Chains A and B, each alone.
Chain A
Amino acid sequence: MALRVGQYALVLAVAATINFALPHLAPGDPITYLYGGTEQGLTPAQIDELGAQYGLDRPLIEQYGAFWSGLVQGDLGISVEHRQPVVDVLAEHLPWTLALVGVSTGLSVLLGTLLGAWAAWRWGTRRDTAAVLSVLAADAMPGFWIAMVLIAVFAVQLGWFPSYGATSIDASGAAWLTEVAQRMALPAATLVIASLGGFFLLSRAAMVTVLDEPFVRRARAAGLRDRRVALRHALPNALLPVYTNLTLALGAVLSGAVVVETVFAYPGLGRLIFDAVTVRDYPLLQGAFLVVTVGIVLANLVADLTYPLLDPRVRRARPALEPA
């Protein structure tokens, strides 16, 4: 466990260091990246002054130290576009992404895993092949394209769902919740379609392996119903590798969220990243990248900590269970 925590700390450190290093490595003046530069109407003299003010004339190692001490205090710089601390801008948009990504990941894991297990149970049959091919097809479509097609069909042509935003200003209470759910439907559907594939293939492969285990055969030999063998014996074991590979999946959903939120004008981190790219708001972009990385690391940590609930073999040794 300590090893895993160290690994995660390393991931965060590398992500932060990438953030620090990029403005220095990329062609051009760091001030341009950090504070907008001449495009923001700064004169060369002001740029030099800013450079001195922010310690850009100091040795790199000192700057790195200052960067870390700022980071620890939650200082991610000032957003050029929003003209307020990056932390505040992120905090405002984070809840929407958490909600969207949470709902989508949940659905995606559930559907992908069950469908994968279902296909494994029918391994090699026509239905299995059909499932694999459909999932590969869904996996092959770019998320932003699925988003545009869903909008064109369900929002524009059929008019069933709104095509943009996360809520409307005038709604409150239960109406507000309905509004939120309605507006989340299409983006969430897009993310589920785009990220289902990973879970499906993982769960199918795990299930095929588990179905070969002697205990599954023994359960059948005990006269259990197929459904019980599948759901109570094979699936709980097939879930283990799915659960430990949450990283891959969550990364996919979050990556999808960037483009999908953009198309749906959803006020989350993804849309924020797109806007930051468009106006070249470098500090905001870096902050968003860091927050997304922290999110992934935290989710993995939770998965690691809760894994023993699924697998009794790794549970901490209990008081010896000896017959009286």
Chain B
Amino acid sequence: MNVRSRRYALAGAATLATLGVIAVLAPWLAPYDPGERVGPPFARPTPTHPLGTNDVGQDLLSELIVGTQVSLLVGTVAAVAATVLGTLVGVLAGYARGWVDTVLMRAVDVVLALPVLPLTIVIGVFFGPGLLTQISVIASVIWAGVARELRAQVLSLREREHVQALRVMGAGGVYVLSRHVLPAVAPLVVPQFVLATKTAILLEASLAFLGLGDVTAKSWGTMLSIGYARSAFLTDAWLWWIIPPGLAVALTVMAFAVFGYALEERSRPALRDASRPWPRPRQSPRPDRAAPAAPALLVEDLAVHYRSDRGAVTALDGVSLSVAAGELVGLIGESGSGKSTLAAAALGLLPPAATVTEGRILVTGRDLATLSAPELRSTRGGRVGLIPQEAMSALNPVRTVGSQLAEAVRAHRTLDQEQTRARVEELLALVGLDPDWAKAHPHQLSGGMRQRVVIALALAGDPAVVVADEPTSGLDVLTQAEVLAVLVRLSRELNLALLVVSHDLPMIERIADRIAVLHAGRLVETGPAADLLAAPRHPHTRSLVEAAPRLRVRVPGGPR
């Protein structure tokens, strides 16, 4: 749990604890018995009755304090019942699967589809007002949400290796369930319970407001119901009769919501580790432009640090690298070596946790750090293009190939519709695709074709430099060769400065003019591909070369 969500969890828990104490001590805290007539009816606030009195002269402050009991009681008891039922159903359905799952989840879906409040009203009316009715009615509609959530959790748990291993070894269902599944699910039940309580308290207030509460045990909802019936909200009395109980409900529900939200954020790593917004480009006072003869991509003495919970982590340290026009440089490194950080830095797309602590990156002679936001944007795609990792999902699934290409073209040039269309067709032809594919959606294309489209997208703004980050990941061997051939051909035809980042040395050695080896954030060796492979100097390079399988498939157009 990060600092912030811990703080929220704490604030929520503290509020709830205070409310709990008030509920328990209510009989002693309340200045009067809320059931007694202690003043004139409809009295305005006075020192003896800080919130005035209601229509029969009962003290409103005492009602508010004692009301905490009923609201919390109904809320928590209903939520406990719903959570127990929901957990049983969810765990059983998720664990048993098959027809048990089908039947149970159909029931859950049906309950979830029914309108909550009208359903509780209909049941509540038939069984008459009262605490027990309220509790069972509320529990009977909110268990389904708990069941659905827990079933999903159990299903994913079931696929975990240790549970699967136990089953393979013949462990009994009850044993696995009670010793391995339930303990793992238990922490996930807590946020569900908290959210169920929140819903239950709001439902209780609504039911009480509609006159379906227990008239003998007044809750905040009952207070509001009577206040509404006596039109307190049309007079000044709204300030002391309507506002306080509503705020009390809101505060309680909010405390549960914040607490549950913090817990959920903890239990859902997907939510916690998700991407953050990107950083603004650093504005450093270094206006110098490199000499015109500079290489298309020049990385000088680059150091990048990541902030993390355990302090700064160095991703890149003193990396210098250049790629000239028409040159194909392969950057080799294992995962975690910093190669993807280098690729991101070349486009000014580092995640916010990363900082460039030293050095600079020059793209066609322009230092990325000195560029304003619009300049940086036009540099991306216009001067340096990216062929990203996971190319299979690098296309927007809901838009056509053509519209994405057209958009990338228009980001850098003002063209009319006809010119844009022509350029899109030209780009598709460039990567060896028929122009008709512009009308297709990404899912209609094969993996290799999608990768070609991604290459076309990287070229849309006519960049001088292209960075390809693991361009063949997720493709089969034959498609890999095809895609590499396209890359090599384009780098020659368009005189591109192409930096190919990969962990795959055999692949890189087939296409690269020069190879750079990155190890633990440092560039350990750089040199012409043939020299480097024939006589690796650094021990790390040597081990890489020795580990690589010697099977040569010539890529057409690659280095001789």
Contacts and interface: CB of A to CB of B under 8 A. Distances in A.
B233 A152 contact: yes
Give chain A's interface secondary structure class. Answer: helix
B74 interface: no
A149 B242 contact: yes
A273 B246 contact: no
A251 B433 CA distance: 48
Contacts of A296: 113-115
Contact of B246 (A142, A156, A214, A280): A142
A215 B242 contact: no
Interface stretch (B274-282, B292-300, B487-495, B531-539): B274-282
B263 to A, nearest CB: 14
Given A142-B206, A324-B436, A223 B121 contact: no
B93 interface: no
Interface string B369-388: 00000000111111001101
B125 to A, nearest CB: 6
Given A141-B246, A149-B238, A123 B277 contact: yes
Interface in A273-312: 273-274, 277-278, 280, 282, 285-286, 288-289, 292-293, 296-297, 300, 310-312
A149 B114 contact: no
Contacts of B437: 321, 323
Contacts of A254: 115, 117-118
Contacts, number: 278
Contacts of B249: 140-142, 145
Contact of B440 (A26, A232, A237, A321): A321
B221 A142 contact: yes
Interface in B412-458: 412, 433-437, 439-441, 443-444, 454, 457-458
A19 B379 CA distance: 66
A221 B250 contact: no
A311 B399 CA distance: 9
A270 B340 CA distance: 57
Contacts of A278: 211
Given A312-B441, A321-B439, A247 B275 contact: no
A175 to B, nearest CB: 26
- Size class of the B contact interface (CB-based, 8 Å): 35 or more
Nearest to A125: B277
Nearest to B116: A255
Interface in B165-207: 198, 202, 205-206
Contact of A277 (B211, B233, B238): B211
A143 B206 contact: yes
A87 interface: no
A269 B346 CA distance: 61
B407 A228 contact: yes
B154 interface: no
B254 A137 contact: yes
Contacts of A94: none
A148 B271 CA distance: 36
Contact of A219 (B112, B270, B396, B441): B396
B372 to A, nearest CB: 14
24 contacts: A7-B109, A25-B126, A133-B258, A140-B250, A142-B224, A148-B227, A156-B235, A214-B391, A217-B386, A221-B458, A223-B377, A224-B377, A258-B206, A259-B209, A274-B210, A277-B210, A277-B212, A285-B122, A286-B122, A311-B398, A312-B397, A321-B444, A323-B433, A324-B434
Interface of B: 4, 106, 109-110, 112-119, 121-123, 125-128, 198, 202, 205-206, 209-212, 221, 224, 227-228, 233-235, 238, 242-243, 245-246, 249-254, 257-258, 261, 270-271, 274-278, 347, 349, 377-382, 385-386, 388-391, 393-399, 404, 407-408, 411-412, 433-437, 439-441, 443-444, 454, 457-458, 460-461
Given A7-B113, A139-B253, 13 more contacts: A7-B106, A18-B123, A133-B258, A136-B258, A145-B224, A148-B224, A211-B274, A211-B275, A215-B393, A218-B454, A277-B212, A285-B122, A292-B115
